[in-house]
Structure 1
Amino acid sequence: MTGDERLMNREKKRGVLFSLLALSRLGNGLVASAAVLLGLFFAKGSLTLNTVTGMIAYLLLVSAGNADNDLLDLETDRINQPARPLPSGALSTKTAALFAAGTTAAALLLGWLASLEQFALLLAAALLLFLYNRRLKNFPRAGNYTVALLSASPLLWHSWPHPARAQWAAALVALLLTSLRELIKDFEDRSGDLAAGRRSLPITAGERAAVQTLAMRFSASYGAAIAVPLIASWGVLPAVRYWCALLLLATPLLISALLLAKKALHSPAEEQRTHWSESQKRIKWAMVAGMGALFLATF
């Protein structure tokens, strides 16, 4: 029995609730919730019911988007991620569809209860998710930046539609880092995307052009991260705290992600996916570390 077959059997034995949590990619939703909370500090607001509402709403919306994405990517995931709840048979497509619809409706209801402006923000995010899953993912750059925009939006929940400069600065870094991670995921999923006829950047532009884009996105992301105190007009002490935390927490993860990407490019085909997968996970942890650095600067 292969490793993928063992994972698929394990998925089938797990309960529906656990499978729904896996379908939703709970970790991504929790990061979005944490971004709403972090935006509160940038807006210099106080913790209220509106904050909790935003955290839950984004958790639900991200869960809905991930479930919808897995429904539409079922055939691709049979190749790229056969142990996921749908291709493994742990969940039916009907259950996943009901989950996606229910969590979307609940997120939008919470947005409506929060304020008209914040409802509009969530509605725009929901529409972008819908378009991305059905159309925009087939346009390499547009798809990457759509996901990046969605990842940055929770930071703007507080004070929307007039966020503070610090919120805009943090959102810019989140947008650039997510676009970097999405391109690495395109490399990771290249074999499945080829089989499904999907037009990711490594497929349409070729490996060399995609690697050049990867390098540019890395440089832009790190440059924007360094510039956050200048964009946000912080004082000397918060800026120093932020730069020290960025250097110690996020920088090693970003460098290791870049080294893993380089290793993937020079590895045999059967080993490349493993290295790309680990690289994009390091980017995700670098984003979490960056959020920690931002928190330390504003605490």
Structure 2
Amino acid sequence: MLYFIHYKEKRIMNYLNLIRYKNLIFLTFLMCLMHYTVASPLLKVFKIESVGPDGAFWLMTIGVVLIAAAGYAINDYFDTKIDALNKPDKVIVGVTISRDATSRLYQILMGAGIACGIATAIWAKSLSIGLIFIIAPGLLWFYSASYKRQFLIGNLIVSLCSALAILLVAEFEASFLTKNYGIFVTQAGVNYNLYLWIGGFALFAFLLTFIREIVKDIEDEYGDRELESRTMPVVWGAKKTKVFLYAVIFITILCALAFTANILFPSAKTFTFLGREMDMLSFRYVLCAVVAPLLVTVILLARAKRISDYTQISKFVKFIMLTGALYSVIFYFQLARVYGLQLFNLFIIK
């Protein structure tokens, strides 16, 4: 009996590892941050309550998570040979889970995810949401089947999908606002600010995902080279790829600094809580939690020589994603403090 229970637990863990359950939890957390600490507080500043039903938001989020899970499954399905060379002890497909079972799991997860997305699009009357839930699955399939092994295309696709998951929250809110209030939300600049702020987080997600994907390509260079993939480290070599990474990190730092400049010197059109006072808390947070870690990443890359070094860098970049996303809590805190909003509907900060 104990053996049977242990076997079942191990099999469940194999499936959870196949769909990268930790990444899915992180993705859910990011979407919740965008909804509850960016979009909802922004709307309250404009004296508007979020009109997107919680049920619709969670339906959309579940759809995104299911599609991401399907993407991870099909990626491992196509990557068994490369994974056998790069990380033979972590191969799941064809070892602990059959290829047929993986294929069926992909079809079920992807079908359910698309259905959730289309249902959300109909609920919100949003063509954009519907198109994203149709295009993204196709991109993930072609990424796993082919684009992943081509120069830069695969990296860009994964980065784009990461950004789209964040942008979906803005599109979700904007669609329901337009549905309920019509042209008013556009004239008042509500939708503009939703897209502006959440779009900033989406850009950050795109750039950091792009950096992390290229670092992972360096980590997997041996297997990619053996199977004649055309990833950047295979085509350019690790040294030139590092130079390219330095450039992308520099661009990311410039974007972060441009953001802090907008915090300190906001334009008239851009909604900001800084019209009343200098927001040094946001400025310091971005410098300490985003810019400084990115500079550390440059140092780690310069010193990296072994595969384990790149593995640690990949994890560190993911940590920067988290610290960057958590700025949304600072954003909410500042809105609550300046405009007298209830923080998480619990208390007012004075």
Tell me the TM-score normalised to structure 1 length: 0.86
Matched, 1:223 2:218: no
- The answer for unaligned runs of 5 or more in structure 1 is 1-11
Q: Compute the displacement of 1:109 (Å).
A: 1.1
Specify whether residues 245 and 207 from structure 1 end up closer, same or farther in structure 2 by C-alpha distance, changes over 3 A only.
same
Cα deviation, residue 238, structure 1: 8.7
* 3-state SS of 1:43 partner: helix
Distance in structure 1 (CA, Å) of the matches to 2:64 and 2:233? 30
**Aligned residue in 2 for 1:293:** 327
Within the candidate set 199, 212, 221, 2:243 is matched to 212
CA distance in 2 between partners of 1:244 and 1:148 (Å): 27
More deviation, 39-48/127-136: 39-48
1:246 partner amino acid? V
In structure 2, the residue matched to 1:9 is none
Q: 1:36 aligns with which of 31, 46, 55?
A: 31
CA drift of 1:113 comes to: 1.6
1:192 to 205, 223, 235: 223
Cα deviation, residue 110, structure 1: 0.8
- Who is 1:169 aligned against? 200
Asked whether the 8 Å contact 1:13–1:90 carries over to 2, the reply is: no
1:133-282 alignment, distance < 5 Å: 133-160=144-171, 164-228=195-259, 230=262, 233-236=271-274, 240-264=280-304, 267=305, 272-282=306-316
2:83 match: secondary structure:
helix
Please state whether the residue corresponding to 1:89 is helix, strand or coil: coil
Q: Is the partner of 1:160 in helix, strand or coil? A: helix
1:26 corresponding residue in structure 2: 21
Tell me the secondary structure at the aligned position of residue 164 of structure 1. helix
Q: How does the TM-score come out when normalised to structure 2? A: 0.74
Q: Contact conserved, 1:39 with 1:156, CA < 8 A, in 2?
A: no
Name which of 64, 68, 89 aligns with 1:83: 89
Q: Is the 8 A contact 1:238 1:297 kept in 2?
A: no
RMSD over aligned Cα atoms: 2.5
Contact 2:170 2:195 in 1 (8 A): yes
Equivalent position amino acid for 1:275 in 2: D
Farther off after superposition, 247-256 or 30-39: 247-256
Say if 1:216 and 1:198 are closer, same or farther in 2 by CA, change over 3 A. Answer: same
* Partner secondary structure for residue 140 of structure 1: coil
Matched, 1:113 2:110: no
User: Structure 2: where are the runs of 5+ without partners?
Assistant: 1-6, 44-49, 175-193, 334-350
Q: Summarize deviations over 1:10-69 as a string: whole Å, max 9, x none.
A: xx9962211111001112222222232233243335471122122212211111101100
Identical residues among aligned pairs (%): 22
Indicate the larger mover: 254-263 or 90-99: 254-263
**Matching residue's letter, 2:232:** L
Are the aligned partners of 2:149 and 2:224 in contact in 1 as well (CA < 8 Å)?
no
- Give the deviation of 1:87 after TM superposition: 5.5
Equivalent residue for 1:62, pick from 68, 77, 84? 68
Structure 2 counterpart of 1:273, one-letter code: I
Q: Which residue of the other structure, out of 124, 135, 138, is the alignment partner of 1:124?
A: 135
C-alpha separation between the residues in 2 aligned to 1:238 and 1:97?
Answer: 54
